């Protein structure tokens, strides 16, 4: 099993690579069917960085050794993953003094060709299970102020009219919620899921994100009241949210 608890990107926090089995709400060593391979991990973390705007089409990736250390996998695994992404058109390799490996300028177009509704549905279902478990486990025992940062993201989404900003904020919401309810290791696990979804699932439109944000607000309100069942219902409603 690959150690997926690297420091890659702005969502990382110090902490255990994975929660100890039995200590958390889920045994997060297993993704649907199996854990991610090293190649999938590299791909998902780069995709997540693009979604979070810490990396954009045309940007140069860090050197292989840096990525390997951040992700906790071997340099040869990272190198092979990057070669595969170049072959797929997700990355560009340039030679010379200003060379390196870069996010492809037509990243969004290439990603659209890789969508897989069946695999995306499986990941989406597992993410729903993860969040329902986290909410059920944490409801009624959340310290004051723990969710302030997550609520600020909900407020930011209400004020934003930029579609790409809305996608970034919603992704951050789910990462920060995972950490607030389950700790840094669960955040890393959620990053595995969300990064893979970025590659497999078409991005939701602004109206859908705003509809989901109403579910975010409902969830936080119910968690603040310590109401487990309504909070879990809000998580489930998020999956089927549609513009009113």
Task: Report how far residue 79's alpha carbon sits from residue 82's, in angstroms, rounded to the nearest whole number.
Answer: 5
Residue spans per domain, the chain: 117-239
Output the tens digit of pLDDT for each of the chain's 244 residues. 333 333 333 333 333 333 333 344 444 444 454 567 888 999 999 999 999 999 999 999 999 999 999 988 999 999 999 999 999 999 999 988 788 999 999 999 999 999 999 999 999 999 999 999 999 999 889 998 999 999 999 999 999 999 999 999 999 999 999 999 999 999 999 999 999 999 999 999 999 999 999 999 999 999 999 999 999 999 999 988 888 6
Task: Report how far residue 202's alpha carbon sits from residue 185's, in angstroms, rounded to the nearest whole number.
Answer: 27
100 DSSP 8-state letter: E
Task: For domain 117-239, give the CATH superfamily.
Answer: GntR ligand-binding domain-like (1.20.120.530)
Helix (H/G/I), strand (E/B), else coil: 200 = helix
Are the CB atoms for 29 and 18 separated by under 8 Å? yes
How many angstroms separate the first and last alpha carbons of the chain? 43
């Amino acid at each position: 099993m690959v150690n997926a608890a690297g420091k890659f990107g702005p969502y990382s926090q110090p902490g255990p690579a994975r929660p100890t089995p039995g200590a958390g709400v889920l045994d997060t060593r297993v993704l649907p069917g199996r854990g991610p391979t090293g190649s999938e991990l590299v791909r998902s973390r780069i995709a997540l960085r693009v979604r979070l705007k810490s990396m954009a089409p045309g940007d140069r990736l860090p050197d292989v050794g840096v990525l390997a250390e951040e992700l906790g996998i071997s340099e040869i695994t990272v190198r092979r993953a990057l070669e595969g992404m170049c072959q797929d058109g997700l990355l560009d390799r340039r030679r010379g003094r200003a060379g390196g490996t870069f996010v492809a300028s037509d990243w969004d177009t290439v990603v659209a060709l890789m969508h897989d509704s069946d695999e995306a549905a499986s990941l989406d279902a597992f993410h729903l299970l993860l969040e329902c478990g986290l909410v059920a486990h944490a409801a009624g025992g959340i310290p004051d102020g723990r969710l302030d940062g997550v609520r600020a993201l909900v407020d930011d989404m209400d004020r934003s009219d930029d579609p790409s900003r809305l996608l970034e904020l919603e992704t951050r919401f789910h990462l920060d919620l995972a950490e607030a309810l389950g700790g840094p290791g669960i955040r890393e696990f959620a990053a595995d899921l969300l990064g893979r979804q970025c590659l497999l699932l078409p991005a939701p439109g602004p109206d859908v994100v705003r509809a989901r944000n109403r579910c975010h607000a409902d969830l936080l309100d119910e968690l603040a009241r310590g109401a487990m069942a309504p909070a879990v219902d809000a998580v489930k409603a998020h999956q089927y949210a549609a513009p009113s």
